[in-house]
Chains A and B, each alone.
Chain A
Amino acid sequence: MSVAQQIDSNTSVDVMTDTDQYLTFILAGEEYGVDILRVQEIKGWDNVTPIPNTPDYIKGVINLRGTIVPIVDLRHKFSLDTIPYGATTVVIVLKVSGDDGNRTMGIVVDAVSDVYNVAAEEMKPPPDFGTISIDYVKGLATVEDKMVIVLEIDKLLNSGVLDKSESFLQ
């Protein structure tokens, strides 16, 4: 039984056949979503060990019960203004799949928001906007009249890790 099913049966939300659940988080007032099945855990911000000569959005590495997990600051990655980390700052630990297997990475976000069910057909393709590459956006979902930017975390987090030359900004 998958986690999604479990959550569905426990919370008795109306289950549609091809609804996916997304965990959303806030980043500079915008709401972003990631596939909840990829979320391994959510933890508070703690000090990291910086890695020399890496892009500045790589904050460093943490010890997650014996494994070394790199932490990406999404504000940095999206070229947003940095803010000091506060009480709501959290690290979302995600499972990322790449060409050479799965890896575990963490993203620093302002705060976690909610869990939404989004049907696949409700997802709108992202318009070609200039700020961030649309490769990293799976689609736009509307939940309670708000827009949620659903991220393609595999592409988002593998770029800059695997492709050294690829610039995140277009």
Chain B
Amino acid sequence: MAIDITQFHETFFEESFEGLDIMESGLLNLDIGAADNDTVNSIFRAAHSIKGGSATFGFSEVAEFTHGMETLLDEMRDGSRDVTQESVDTLLQSVDCLREMLGASRDKTPIDLGRAEVLKKDLEKILSSNNSIKSPSENNDSNSTTPASEPSGGSGWEIKFKPYHDMLRTGNDPVRMFRELAELGELSVEVDISQLPALEDLDPEESYLSWKLTLKADVEKEKVKEIFEWVEDECDIELNELSAATDKTDNPANVIAAATTASPQATDKPKKLATPKKPATSTDSASIRVSIDKVDALINMVGELVITQSMIGQLDCDLDEFDNNRMEKLRDGLTLLERNTRELQESVMRIRMLPISFAFNRFPRMVHDLCQKLNKKIELRTTGEQTELDKTVMEKIGDPLVHLVRNSIDHGIEMPEDRVSANKPETGIIELNAFHKGGNIIIEIKDDGAGFNKERIKAKAVERGLISSDEQLSDEKIYDLLFQPGFSTAEQLSDISGRGVGMDVVRRNIRELGGNIDVSSEVGKGTTFTIRLPLTLAILDGQLVCVGSEIYITPLVSIVESLQIKKEFVNNIAGQTELYKVRDDYIPIVRMHNIFGIDAEQKDLEGGLLVIVEGDGKKAGLLVDDLLGQQQVVIKSLETNYKRVDGVSGATILGDGTVALILDVDGLIELSRNPPTSGNTSTSQVREVA
């Protein structure tokens, strides 16, 4: 079997990290003392798959370490152990450790075994601590695993064998396996027919039965396992030593998949059952998992496209007979083609979309850990986890979100005693909401904490020299100070936040994604951060504008309106800055040709076209020669082969193959204030000299 199993490593790691996430969220959801069986089971399954996989792929340290966790989980699962805070915490730490170990294995760096050893000892300590709560009555429960204190009437095995429904289809016959078992020694078989449906519902090709086999024979476990080797991934199987004093359970399914061919499925399948279609969360993964529905939709669409193409193709066989009838057909065909293309484009874009739960998933753990550290009581509520977001956006929004949530925990929510004295419930609430609005995704981070103290922000800003003490500021301006570099209102620095690095980075990251962030806050009631993000970074609805001989694309979302300039509405400040009066607003006019240094036709304001754009809360009117059509454009990066250019956010390729630049509205407004030709030493100025 010359199969290079390293080719499956990527999948193994991806799935293992996924499994760790399942374990983590499961552990966080566990109620201490009254653990929900399903949750424990899903945690166990995840641990089990990781153990199996790592053993198969030769990561023995990982497998060994996971084994300890699995044993503990198994005892929790069969009810022989209480779920205590201590054990949950140890398990959570073990999850972290395991993640590091797997990460190290993936990056082929040495595994830090020190921490693993410590945790392993902790696990062993918990395991050896005597808190077995098993009552004798549970032993009679046919569903519980073999009791530990089974009288050892000679060595042998008790096997619980429950095939999945479709096992028979792969040509595996239980009877044959039982016969093989019988050859090993004395075998008694009990069949469980409780799953058997009524005769009319029965599908003869499905397996509904499960068995409890007792094999009284002094054989090695491997021997028994061998018999089930071929059905490992198609059944639930438990193998218990009859004479064993402890109820050490071991599942041959998955643990050691001797057959390397079967191993990928062996590790794969049980997890698939536990969490269908859950893509990888590793933020730096270069691959993406796509649900089969989306792929099917794509294939359908391509099929349609081919049909349309052949339909149009039929038309051009005899051009001599080209008449109105054909013209009509051609037009229909083109309409169809357009629709197909659009749908295809949408489907392809959808592949990149992931539910935002990927970004939200890490928060329960974070909140849990920080609460313990800070002795606060916080409940995390999330809504709209299924809102889909472009993968790239998702990867980049993760860190800013973490920062904001940390801030809310650290500064927003007060200590329980403070909350009680402020007539608020002891437990604070942090809400994470995601939803669509317009062409954007909105993410809200809302806490019901103390809110921002505007006076303190102002005082701090004065202290930092950001504003002068007598400056009158609107609320908006005050909150804007929060995003200034080096600004922090935390009275005491903590290692969680408050070093003053962060909020400015948060805003910069969000802006880089083409979004923005707003704050609203009420003292004593709480704070809400609202992040607005574009749905995707790859495609943009644009308005084509013409300046001189150049075509530029203005993002449609930033355009407020377009109008023809009337001389009487133009006002000047100091004879330079030109303002245009739109209703009650004075909007600065940005002469595109001046800023970009091109020769425009329309240098005179009178009769010119003004595109009013809004960026970063500020409005500006761009003077352009002409408005062309609107179209969706694919965003291409200028930075890939060149560098960032002020006032330009990227480039695209127009229908005729030429390149058009996409305007960066915020950058343009900034540029109009510090024109590149003025005497100051802005970077663009330096560049021009160079």
Which residues of A are in contact with B by a Cβ distance under 8 Å?
A: 47-55, 58, 60-63, 66-70, 103-105, 160-162, 164-168
Q: Report whether A103 and B686 are in contact in the complex, using a CB–CB cutoff of 8 Å.
A: no
- Chain A's closest residue to B636 (CB) is A68
Within 8 Å CB of A51, what residues of B?
638, 642, 645, 648, 661
Which among B640, B658, B660 is the interface contact of A47 at CB below 8 angstroms?
A: B658
Which among B637, B641, B687, B690 is the interface contact of A105 at CB below 8 angstroms?
A: B641
Within 8 Å CB of A162, what residues of B?
643
Q: Report whether B598 and A50 are in contact in the complex, using a CB–CB cutoff of 8 Å.
A: yes
Q: Report whether B597 and A52 are in contact in the complex, using a CB–CB cutoff of 8 Å.
A: yes
- Chain A's closest residue to B676 (CB) is A53
Q: Report whether A160 and B688 are in contact in the complex, using a CB–CB cutoff of 8 Å.
A: no
Q: Report whether A53 and B640 are in contact in the complex, using a CB–CB cutoff of 8 Å.
A: no
Docked pose: A48 CA to B660 CA in angstroms:
10
Judged by a CB distance under 8 angstroms, whether B322 is at the interface is no
Q: Report whether B641 and A70 are in contact in the complex, using a CB–CB cutoff of 8 Å.
A: yes
Within 8 Å CB of B641, what residues of A?
67-70, 103-105
Which among A47, A52, A67, A167 is the interface contact of B645 at CB below 8 angstroms?
A: A52
Min CB–CB distance A45 → chain B (angstroms)? 14
Within 8 Å CB of A105, what residues of B?
641-642
Q: Report whether A53 and B642 are in contact in the complex, using a CB–CB cutoff of 8 Å.
A: no
Which among A49, A50, A68, A165 is the interface contact of B686 at CB below 8 angstroms?
A: A165
Task: Produce 1/0 per residue, B576-619, CB < 8 A to A.
Answer: 00000000000000000001111000000000000000000000
Judged by a CB distance under 8 angstroms, whether B550 is at the interface is yes
Docked pose: A32 CA to B369 CA in angstroms:
63
> Which 4 interchain pairs have the tightest Cβ spacing?
A52-B596, A49-B659, A70-B642, A103-B641
Q: Max chain B CB contacts within 10 Å: which of A47, A48, A50, A104?
A: A50
Docked pose: A57 CA to B203 CA in angstroms:
76
Min CB–CB distance A89 → chain B (angstroms)? 19
Task: Produce 1/0 per residue, B656-690, CB < 8 A to A.
Answer: 01111100000000010000100000011011111
Q: Report whether A68 and B638 are in contact in the complex, using a CB–CB cutoff of 8 Å.
A: yes
Docked pose: A160 CA to B689 CA in angstroms:
10
Which among A47, A54, A62, A69 is the interface contact of B687 at CB below 8 angstroms?
A: A54
Judged by a CB distance under 8 angstroms, whether B555 is at the interface is no
The verdict on A50 contacting B550 (CB below 8 Å), with A61-B651, A61-B659, A68-B651 known, is yes
Within 8 Å CB of A67, what residues of B?
636, 640-641
Min CB–CB distance A154 → chain B (angstroms)? 14
Interchain residue pairs with CB less than 8 A apart (14)? A52-B661, A53-B646, A53-B671, A53-B676, A60-B659, A61-B651, A68-B637, A68-B638, A68-B642, A68-B653, A103-B640, A105-B642, A160-B690, A167-B690
Within 8 Å CB of B687, what residues of A?
53-55, 160, 164
Q: Report whether B645 and A53 are in contact in the complex, using a CB–CB cutoff of 8 Å.
A: yes
Min CB–CB distance A104 → chain B (angstroms)? 5
Q: Report whether B648 and A52 are in contact in the complex, using a CB–CB cutoff of 8 Å.
A: yes
Chain B count of residues within 8 A CB distance of the other chain? 32
Docked pose: A66 CA to B659 CA in angstroms:
10
Q: Report whether B651 and A49 are in contact in the complex, using a CB–CB cutoff of 8 Å.
A: yes
Min CB–CB distance A112 → chain B (angstroms)? 21
Starting from the known contacts A61-B659, A162-B643, A168-B690, 5 additional A-B residue pairs (CB-CB under 8 Å) come to: A49-B550, A49-B660, A61-B651, A105-B641, A105-B642
Q: Report whether B550 and A55 are in contact in the complex, using a CB–CB cutoff of 8 Å.
A: no
The verdict on A164 contacting B690 (CB below 8 Å), with A49-B660, A68-B636 known, is yes
Min CB–CB distance B638 → chain A (angstroms)? 6
Docked pose: A149 CA to B676 CA in angstroms:
36
Docked pose: A53 CA to B598 CA in angstroms:
10
- Chain A's closest residue to B659 (CB) is A49
Docked pose: A83 CA to B332 CA in angstroms:
51
Judged by a CB distance under 8 angstroms, whether B502 is at the interface is no
Within 8 Å CB of A168, what residues of B?
690
Within 8 Å CB of A66, what residues of B?
636, 653
Q: Report whether B659 and A52 are in contact in the complex, using a CB–CB cutoff of 8 Å.
A: no
Within 8 Å CB of A104, what residues of B?
641
Judged by a CB distance under 8 angstroms, whether B542 is at the interface is no
Which among B550, B684, B689 is the interface contact of A167 at CB below 8 angstroms?
A: B689
- Chain B's closest residue to A57 (CB) is B690
- Chain B's closest residue to A103 (CB) is B641
Within 8 Å CB of B642, what residues of A?
51, 58, 61, 68, 70, 103, 105, 161
Docked pose: A61 CA to B636 CA in angstroms:
12
- Chain A's closest residue to B593 (CB) is A52
- Chain A's closest residue to B596 (CB) is A52
Docked pose: A168 CA to B687 CA in angstroms:
11
Min CB–CB distance A55 → chain B (angstroms)? 6
The verdict on A161 contacting B660 (CB below 8 Å), with A49-B651, A53-B596, A53-B684 known, is no
Docked pose: A36 CA to B643 CA in angstroms:
25
Docked pose: A69 CA to B642 CA in angstroms:
7
- Chain A's closest residue to B645 (CB) is A51
Q: Report whether A63 and B653 are in contact in the complex, using a CB–CB cutoff of 8 Å.
A: yes
Docked pose: A104 CA to B689 CA in angstroms:
24
Judged by a CB distance under 8 angstroms, whether B264 is at the interface is no
Min CB–CB distance B637 → chain A (angstroms)? 7
Within 8 Å CB of A160, what residues of B?
687, 690
Within 8 Å CB of B683, what residues of A?
164
- Chain A's closest residue to B641 (CB) is A103
Docked pose: A52 CA to B643 CA in angstroms:
13
Judged by a CB distance under 8 angstroms, whether B647 is at the interface is yes
Which among B598, B638, B658, B688 is the interface contact of A55 at CB below 8 angstroms?
A: B688
Min CB–CB distance A32 → chain B (angstroms)? 21
The verdict on A53 contacting B690 (CB below 8 Å), with A61-B642, A103-B640 known, is no
Q: Report whether B690 and A166 are in contact in the complex, using a CB–CB cutoff of 8 Å.
A: yes
Which among A53, A161, A167 is the interface contact of B597 at CB below 8 angstroms?
A: A53
Within 8 Å CB of A53, what residues of B?
595-597, 645-647, 671, 676, 684, 687-688
Q: Report whether B598 and A52 are in contact in the complex, using a CB–CB cutoff of 8 Å.
A: yes
Task: Produce 1/0 per residue, B614-656, CB < 8 A to A.
Answer: 0000000000000000000000111011110111100101000
Min CB–CB distance A78 → chain B (angstroms)? 14
Docked pose: A32 CA to B646 CA in angstroms:
33
